[in-house]
Amino acid sequence: MVIDSNDNEPAFDFELYRFQVSESAPPGTPVGQITASDSDSGRFGQVEYELKGFGAERFDVDPITGEITVKSCGGPDRPDANCLDYESQTSYALTFTATDGGGQVTTTSVEIEVEDVNDNYPKFELPEYLRVVQEGDTGFRPPLVVQAEDADGPSQGGGKLFYAIHSINTDRTIFSIDPVTGEITFVSPAASADTESGRYDMVVRATDLGKDPRPLHRDVPVTVRVGTVNNAKPRFLQSHYKARVAEDAARRQEVIRVEAEDPDGRAEDLRFELHSGAKDNFVIDLRSGVLSVAPDANLDIQRSGDTYDIQVRVADSGKPFSQTGDATVTVYIDDVNDKKPKFEKVSITRNFYILHNPNIYFIMFSFNFSRPILSMCLRARPSARRFSPCLLLTLTGTLTSSTQSSSQLLQGTRPEIA
């Protein structure tokens, strides 16, 4: 009996295999199939396949059939996300291996070209374009040019774009745009009367030349404000605002919101600030105009008073300089009962004489604020040998008595007796 040995290695039909696959191919899409033959019998003739090289992780290979498919790179949350992107890598040069049951290995080269599809939208250099011109102007200085770029390859337009004015808020033909360069020019002189707001609001569209699956476009807003010699100032909706807040109000508590408008601009471009009078106890939001209690405020009435006359200011985004408007916000501070009564003096003592012939009576009156005791001493004439006791009256109305020595009797000045 002849026993077969593993004397044959796997053999491919070609030294190089080339395949193409679309960058939009979903996971599991077949790319190609490669097989090798092995003349050995039994397990020595069984071949398993593997793909190696930089980028091989973007593909799956069936180890038995040799079929290559697109792999999912989205993870468990996005199983339908493929791994291919023409703009990141246009082709892959890989090594395809065949290993038989005896461990013999044969390799061949695989080139996979990624086909570009039009999957990138044009991208403008700026999110919006803003210019200011004067009444009657017929040109931009410097020129107004909108520019965008497209990342798709040569088969999808090679980054070429065409520009057009998609919409504008006037029936007059004021501007035109070069479809290739994106430069916007005047057709008619600028006039603030053309629009209610005194500005032209355009939408410029950039469209690529891609065809698979279709051309893509993106829009960008272009605003041309028509100024005047004086450039209208923004104004508050009220010249004087009033509000109340407790002196123990929470920090960052909203007090009032001030609003303003710009006759020749957009309200969302206005910026608010505190000009004076806040005493570091209030702050204002730059964009919303909300006046609130400052984080480190101290609204104690005894310290800062019960009224704040705060000057608020609003500024527009006019070029070459902005205009401002002012208003007053009067904030009244409501007192809260947060302090205990406090006496100005700790105690008061008064001594005086009462003349009543034939005797002179000496009275000492004393009140101590730190202890609830009112004391009164009634004494006879100092020459008398018998003295009356002192009477102590507590704030609860209790009378008590005490005796003092003669050395404690006379205080103050005794009047002369005729």
Give the CATH number of the domain where residue 105 resides.
Answer: 2.60.40.60
Domain residues for 132? 123-227
Strand partners, 296: none
Residue 402 burial (CB count, 10 A): 10
Cα dihedral 85, 87, 93, 95 in deg (nearest 10) = -20
Give the mean pLDDT of 105-112. 94
Residues 191 and 270 in one domain: no
Q: Which pLDDT value is given to residue 212?
A: 76
Residue type, 341: P
Give residue for tokens 């007090």: 255
Cα dihedral 141, 271, 328, 333 in deg (nearest 10) = -170
Annotate 72-89 with b (16+ C-beta within 10 A) or e (fewer). beeeeeeeeebbbbbeee
Kindly state whether residue 414 falls inside one of the protein's structural domains.
no
Round to whole Å and give the CA distance between 140 and 178: 14
pLDDT of 2 > 50? The answer is no
Residues 325 and 354 in one domain: no
Residues 330 and 351 in one domain: no
Q: Which pLDDT value is given to residue 226?
A: 85
Give residue for tokens 């199939």: 33
Give the mean pLDDT of 113-140. 90
Q: Which pLDDT value is given to residue 159?
A: 82
pLDDT tens per residue across span 129-180: 999 888 899 999 899 999 999 888 887 877 889 999 999 999 999 999 999 9
Kindly state whether residue 216 falls inside one of the protein's structural domains.
yes
Q: Report CA-CA distances (Å) from 238 to 123, 219, 269, 271, 282.
A: 42, 37, 19, 16, 19
Rounded to two decimals, the pTM is 0.46
Round to whole Å and give the CA distance between 86 and 92: 11
Kindly state whether residue 416 falls inside one of the protein's structural domains.
no
Residues 223 and 239 in one domain: no
Which of 289, 292, 259 has the alpha carbon at shortest distance from 273?
Answer: 289
Residues 252 and 211 in one domain: no
Identify which of 176-185, 206-215, 378-387 has the greatest average pLDDT. Answer: 176-185
pLDDT of 101 > 90? The answer is no
Q: Which pLDDT value is given to residue 376?
A: 56
Residue 277 burial (CB count, 10 A): 17
**Residue % of the chain over a pLDDT of 70:** 77
Identify which of 44-58, 317-331, 358-372, 400-414 has the greatest average pLDDT. Answer: 44-58
Domain boundary among 115, 132, 150: 115
The token pair that represents 9 in the structure block? 């290695």
Residues 108 and 128 in one domain: no
Identify which of 210-224, 275-289, 316-330 has the greatest average pLDDT. Answer: 275-289
Residues 271 and 320 in one domain: yes
Helices (H) and strands (E) in the chain, counts: 1, 32
Give the mean pLDDT of 247-270. 90
Give the mean pLDDT of 195-201. 83
Residues 328 and 397 in one domain: no
Residues 206 and 152 in one domain: yes
Which of 332, 323, 326 has the alpha carbon at shortest distance from 276?
Answer: 326
Domain boundary among 115, 140, 170: 115
Q: Which pLDDT value is given to residue 418?
A: 36
Residue 113 burial (CB count, 10 A): 13
Q: Are 100 and 56 in contact (CB under 8 A)?
A: no
Which of 80, 50, 53, 52 has the alpha carbon at shortest distance from 67?
Answer: 50
Q: Which pLDDT value is given to residue 409?
A: 37
Round to whole Å and give the CA distance between 30 and 15: 21
Round to whole Å and give the CA distance between 96 and 33: 11
Give residue for tokens 């337009």: 157
pLDDT of 413 > 50? The answer is no
Kindly state whether residue 1 falls inside one of the protein's structural domains.
no
Kindly state whether residue 4 falls inside one of the protein's structural domains.
no
Residues 218 and 244 in one domain: no
Q: Is 175 helix (H, G, I), strand (E, B) or coil?
A: strand
Kindly state whether residue 3 falls inside one of the protein's structural domains.
no
Q: What φ, ψ does residue 220 adopt, rounded to 5°?
A: -140, 135
Round to whole Å and give the CA distance between 211 and 116: 11
pLDDT tens per residue across span 284-317: 999 999 999 999 999 999 888 999 999 999 998 8
Give the mean pLDDT of 209-238. 83
The token pair that represents 66 in the structure block? 């040799």
Round to whole Å and give the CA distance between 406 and 36: 134
Residue type, 226: V
What is the tally of structural domains in the chain? 4
Give the residue with greater pLDDT, 384 vs 76.
76
Q: Is 260 helix (H, G, I), strand (E, B) or coil?
A: strand
Round to whole Å and give the CA distance between 108 and 382: 135
Residues 74 and 155 in one domain: no
Residue type, 295: P
Kindly state whether residue 245 falls inside one of the protein's structural domains.
yes
Q: Give me the long-range contacts of 408-412 (CB less than 8 A, separation at least 24).
A: 409/362, 409/377, 409/379, 409/382, 410/362, 410/382, 411/351, 411/364, 412/351, 412/352, 412/353
Kindly state whether residue 339 falls inside one of the protein's structural domains.
no
Which of 354, 369, 374, 368 has the alpha carbon at shortest distance from 415?
Answer: 354
Round to whole Å and give the CA distance between 312 and 322: 16
Q: Are strands 67-70 and 36-37 parallel, antiparallel or unpaired?
A: unpaired
Averaged confidence pLDDT in the chain? 81
**Residue % of the chain over a pLDDT of 90:** 50
Give the residue with greater pLDDT, 76 vs 23.
23
Domain boundary among 194, 227, 260: 227
Give residue for tokens 């007192």: 335
Q: Are 256 and 282 in contact (CB under 8 A)?
A: no
Which of 113, 73, 74, 117 has the alpha carbon at shortest distance from 94?
Answer: 113
Q: Which pLDDT value is given to residue 197?
A: 74
Confidence class for position 375, pLDDT limits 50, 70, 90: low
What end-to-end distance do the CA atoms of the chain give, in Å?
165
Residues 352 and 384 in one domain: yes
Q: Which pLDDT value is given to residue 398?
A: 43
